[in-house]
Amino acid sequence: MLEIKNLHASIDGKEILKGINLNIEKGKVYAIMGPNGSGKSTLASVLAGNEIFSVSEGEIKLDGKDLLKLKPEERAAEGVFLAFQYPVEIPGVSINNFMKAAINEQRKYHGLEPIPAPDFLKLIKEKKELVELDKKLDGRSVNQGFSGGEKKKLEVFQMAVLNPKVAVLDETDSGLDIDALRIVANGVNKLKSSENSFIIITHYQRLLDYITPDVVHVLYNGRIIKTGDKNLALELEKTGYDELKKQADELYNK
Ligand SMILES: Nc1ncnc2c1ncn2[C@@H]1O[C@H](COP(=O)(O)OP(=O)(O)O)[C@@H](O)[C@H]1O
Ligand SMILES: [Mg+2]
């Protein structure tokens, strides 16, 4: 569904991604692990279309469509969802209005009329129940004064409403507590289907105690240096990244 081929990306003339190849299939959950500074968040940003990174080589295709030609909001409308590591607060904008605007922007992209009010209300009611979004958050401005856990819940709710083909969750270094991890994990486990896929970016394997990945990739120094199944994550938790890093450094003559 999502094909990444020989992706090179840089910032300020410094190459961060050095030839990433990934084949993301429908119905699967992928974990991308790796030491700090490997390029994990960069990969997420480049997928979402963050223009601070420049792509010098390679391709990203979603169901055959060239994502590199699309703006961030167009990629979102095509079904790429990026959960932000640091969610923004939007004072004065209620959750419902924010979601309505997001839905309608995507509908417009696909040549559809704005969502009829009854359909919208039904949809958000259903999804609020699914992700157990607290009633007390109704009417509040987006993320304003939210606890870490509430922000995560809102993010999972957004994901549920927008129903992306590929959701990228960058959880690295975000200092999530166990409750927040469970919220994210429950959300992913409820929302995953045979039609979508998830890319879970995580430094530690903690989150993977709650979400079982089908495939685990290790990213280091801008390259995928190892691929395995869920056992690879468990192994890394015991051994750390040092041995893999050494092998990769030798291979690429660093
Ligand atoms: N906005 C930026 N400006 C300059 N360098 C950056 C920026 N973002 C990331 N980098 C650099 O890119 C490399 C990879 O960073 P990042 O993708 O955040 O790694 P990870 O998420 O794996 O910890 C690091 O060397 C980091 O310093
Ligand atoms: Mg990161």
- 105: how many CB neighbours lie within 10 A of its CB? 14
Residue ranges around ligand 1 (CB below 6 Å): 11-12, 16, 34, 36-42, 52, 172
Taking alpha carbons only, the member of 137, 106, 109 closest to residue 120 is: 106
* pLDDT at res. 87: 66
Q: Is domain 2-251 given the CATH code 3.30.750.24 in the classification?
A: no
Burial class (CB in 10 A: 0-12, 13-18, 19+), 180: buried
Range list of H helices, 5-147: 40-48, 72-78, 95-109, 117-131
Q: What tens digit of pLDDT does each residue of 10-34 get?
A: 999 999 999 999 999 999 999 999 9
Under DSSP, the state recorded for 104 is H
Domain ranges of the chain: 2-251
Angle at 17 between CA 16 and CA 19, to 5 degrees: 145
Tokens of 26: 């429908």
| Ligand 1 pocket: which of 7, 41, 219 to mutate (most atoms within 8 A of CB) | 41
Tokens of 41: 């968040």
* pLDDT at res. 85: 53
With residue 214 as reference, give the H or E element that holds it: none
* pLDDT at res. 32: 96
Is the pLDDT at 84 greater than 80, yes or no?
no
Is residue 84 within 8 Å of 137, Cβ to Cβ?
no
Q: What tens digit of pLDDT does each residue of 219-232 get?
A: 999 999 999 999 99
pLDDT average, residue stretch 48-53: 93
Q: What tens digit of pLDDT does each residue of 92-120 get?
A: 888 899 899 999 999 999 999 999 999 99
Residues with CB under 5 A from ligand 2 (ion): 40-41, 172
Q: What ligand has the least distance to the C-alpha of 40? A: 1
* pLDDT at res. 17: 98
